[in-house]
Chains A and B, each alone.
Chain A
Amino acid sequence: MGMAITSAQNKAAVDAAVAAVMDRFGGTGIEATSVEHSTGKHASFLRIISPPRQWLGLAKFLRFDLGVNHCSMVTGTHFPDGAEERGWEVAYHFMRMPVKNQASGACVEHDAATLTGLEIPLEVEIFIPLAKGDSPVVDSIQSIWVGADWNEKETWDLVGIEFKGHKDMMRVLNPHDSPLGFHPLQKQHKLRYHDYNEMYDDAQGFERKPTDSGLVK
C-alpha cells in the first residue's frame, strides 16, 4: 500500500496555520480560512485573502514562521466588469514541503504517518484583490522565494500586473519587442483568426448575425 498523508493530519495542519495567521494578522484585513477541495480526497488547504499593503509582511510570515518553502505559481486575472476594489486579482499558490539538504550518501525516507507540526505538507492559496485602474501594482516576493522570480515575469508579461521591487523585469513569453502596455491576457484583447473576429469568441456560432455569413467559418 502506498503511503499518504491522512485527512486528520491534513486538517490539523491547516487549522494550525489558520490559527497562526489570524493570531498574527487579525484585524489587519487579512482573512484566513480552511477550504476543502471539492473533489478527490476532499483535502483541505489554507486560503488567505489579503489587502495589497499587508502582502509583504504576510509573505515573510509564511516563509519564515510557517515554513512555506515553495512558490508554486503566481498568476493574475483581469476583471474589467468587476467591483471597483477588485478590478484585478493576483493569485498565489504555495506549498510547504518537508525538505532538508542531505549529507553525502544519505536520504530521508519519510513515513507520512509520523510527520507532525510544520513537517506536514500544506497547500496555500492567496488572493490579493487590486483596485481598478491601468496600472495594478503589488509587492514582489522575488527576494523571499527565488521561484517567484520567473512567475512574476510571466504574470507581468501576460496579464500586465506590475511587481514593485522586482529586479530585472522583462518579457519572457511574448516577443521582446512587443509594444509597451500590450498584455494579451487582459480582457480587452479578443481572440481573432485573421479578420474573423468572432470565430473563437463565439465558437458555436449562437450569436452570429446574418450579416456575418461568409465571414465566419
Chain B
Amino acid sequence: MAQMWITMGPQHPMTHGLWTLRVKVDGETVVDTEPELGYIHRGVEKICESRDFTQIVPYCDRLCYASAMTWAHSYCYAVEDLLEVDVPERAEYVRLIAVEMQRIASHLMWLGAYTPDVGNLTVFVWCLRDREMFLDLMQELGGSRMHYNFPRPGGIKRDIPPGFANRARAKIALFLERMKEYEMLLDESTIFLVRTQGVGYAKAEEMVNAGVTGPNVRAAGVNYDVRWAHPYSVYDEVDWTSSVEKPSSVKGADCYDRYRVRMTEMEESCRMIIDALDKIPGGSDTTYQSGDEKIIAKVPSRAPEGATGHHHFEDSRGESMFYLQGGGEGRGKYPYRVSIRSPMFITIPFVAETMIGYKIADIPAIMGSFDPCIGETDR
C-alpha cells in the first residue's frame, strides 16, 4: 500500500504543547516517526548566565507550568551543591511537603489531560477540581497560583503559615476518597481500558538505556527512584515506598501500567505529606519568620572559582538535573554556565520510536501516557 507522511502538530490535541510529530503511515499502521522540537525554545540557559543565583529561581519555575515547584527545587539543590550550603532540617521538611504536593498536582494535570485523549471527558473536570485544592495549599506557601518562586538557595522563602497543616490534612483525606472515584470511573470503563491496555509497550532496560526515567520506568516493574537511590532531602526519614507497577506483558509496560503507577504515586505522596507534617522539627503549628535560621541558611552570593555543582532530582516526569559552573573570569555573582537536563526532552524521541507498529489512532494514547511537557523540553 502507498505510504505517506502525516504531520501531527504543532497544533494538535495529541501534542500537549507545541511540537510536531511527523508520522509515516502505511494504511493505518505507523511505520516511521520524526519528532520536531524547539517551537518554544526561550534560551533559559543563556538568560540564567546573566542572573544571580536567587534571580534564577523564577526562571526555573517557568520551565514547566504543571510542575513549577519541583523544577525550582531541582535548581536549588544544585546551587547548594555549588555554593556548599547545608539546608536547615525544617526547611527540608517544608520542601518535601511542597514538592510532593506539586507531584500530586502535576499527576492530576496529566490525568486530566490524558483521559480526554482516550475518550473520557469527565475525569478532566474532576482532576482540575481536585488539583485546585493543592494549588491553593501551595499558594499559601509561595503566594501565587502556579509559579510559586518558593524555594531559595539555602532554604525556603517562607515557613508554612498557621493552620496550613490542618488544611493539608483535611484536603488530603478528601482527595484520597476521591481517588477511589477516579478508579471506579476509569478502571471499569471499557473505553478507557480498550484504548490503554495492550498499546505502547516499552521495556525497562531499553527505556533506561534511552534515557527515560521516573514513573515511566517504574511502570515496567522496576523499582528505581532517585529519591532512594541517590538520597537527598529527608526522604529517608518519612514513611513511603517507591510505587512500582507489575507490567502486564513480557513486552514491558503498556499505557494502562503507566496510568496505574501514577495513581499509586499520588497515594504515596499523600502518605509522605501527612507523615512529614507529623515529624517536622519545631512542629507543624509553628510559623517562623522569613529569614529565620531554622528555615534558611546563610548563603554566599559568589561561587568559588572553577567550582561546579549538580544534583539529580526526582521530578514528576523523571530525573531532572541542573549542572552549574560558578564564578569564572569576572562573572561576579552570575554563574558561568547553567545546563538543564529535562526528562521529557530525552523521552519524546524514545516515545516516537515506540509508536512504530501501532495504529495511527493509538498515537494520542501512547504519547499522552508518557506525560509530555513541552515547556521543559524546549527550555
Contacts and interface: CB of A to CB of B under 8 A. Distances in A.
Given A4-B236, A184-B43, A145 B221 contact: no
Interface string B152-183: 00000000000000000000000000000000
A5 B80 contact: no
A167 to B, nearest CB: 13
B222 A39 contact: no
A103 B222 CA distance: 11
A123 B235 CA distance: 18
B239 interface: yes
Contact of B228 (A69, A101, A112): A112
Interface stretch (B2-10, B83-91, B112-120, B138-146): B83-91
B224 A97 contact: yes
B372 interface: no
Contacts of B213: 70
Contacts of B81: 37-40
Contact of A108 (B208, B222, B309, B323): B222
B210 interface: yes
A164 interface: no
A81 interface: yes
Interface stretch (B22-30, B62-70, B187-195, B241-249): B241-249
Contacts of A148: 211
Contact of A104 (B80, B217, B248, B339): B248
B336 to A, nearest CB: 7
A189 to B, nearest CB: 8
A80 B31 CA distance: 45
A146 B209 contact: yes
B237 A1 contact: yes
A181 B118 CA distance: 44
Q: Which of B47, B239, B323 has the most CB of A within 10 A?
A: B323
Nearest to A103: B250
Contact of B47 (A108, A175, A200): A200
Contacts of B240: 2
Given A2-B238, A97-B224, A174 B41 contact: yes
Contacts of A171: 38
B322 to A, nearest CB: 10
Contact of A73 (B41, B235, B323): B323
A39 B221 contact: no
A211 B241 CA distance: 62
A93 B240 CA distance: 28
A144 B350 CA distance: 15
A200 B81 CA distance: 26
Interface string A123-148: 10100000000000000000001111
Contacts of A103: 250
B151 interface: no
A101 B211 contact: no
A194 interface: no
Contacts of A48: none
B346 A39 contact: no
Interface residues of A, number: 61
A193 B222 CA distance: 47
Interface in B226-266: 227-233, 235-241, 244-250, 252
Given A77-B325, A99-B217, A175-B38, A107 B85 contact: no
Given A2-B237, A95-B312, A121-B230, A107 B203 contact: no
A104 B247 contact: yes
Contacts of A75: 323, 337, 339
B211 A2 contact: no
Contact of A107 (B206, B245, B249, B378): B245
Contact of B222 (A1, A38, A102): A102
Nearest to A145: B209
Contact of B248 (A41, A105, A154): A105
B228 A2 contact: yes
A166 B272 CA distance: 44
Q: Which of B87, B210, B240 has the most CB of A within 10 A?
A: B210
B53 interface: no
Interface string A84-116: 000000010101011111111111111010000
Interface of A: 1-5, 37-41, 43, 69-73, 75, 77, 81, 91, 93, 95, 97-110, 112, 121, 123, 125, 145-151, 154, 158, 171-175, 184-185, 189, 191, 200-201, 203
13 contacts: A1-B237, A40-B232, A43-B231, A73-B341, A75-B323, A93-B321, A93-B341, A97-B229, A108-B221, A146-B206, A173-B37, A173-B378, A201-B50
Interface of B: 37-38, 41, 43, 45-47, 49-51, 55, 77, 80-82, 84-87, 203-206, 208-213, 217, 220-224, 227-233, 235-241, 244-250, 252, 272, 308-312, 319, 321, 323, 325, 329, 336-337, 339, 341, 345-346, 349-350, 378-379
CB-based closest 10 A-B pairs: A147-B211, A102-B221, A107-B221, A4-B236, A121-B229, A38-B84, A4-B231, A39-B80, A75-B339, A73-B341
Given A39-B85, A99-B217, 20 more contacts: A2-B228, A3-B228, A39-B311, A40-B86, A40-B311, A41-B232, A77-B325, A77-B337, A81-B329, A91-B339, A98-B224, A102-B204, A104-B247, A105-B247, A107-B221, A107-B247, A145-B209, A146-B211, A149-B349, A173-B378
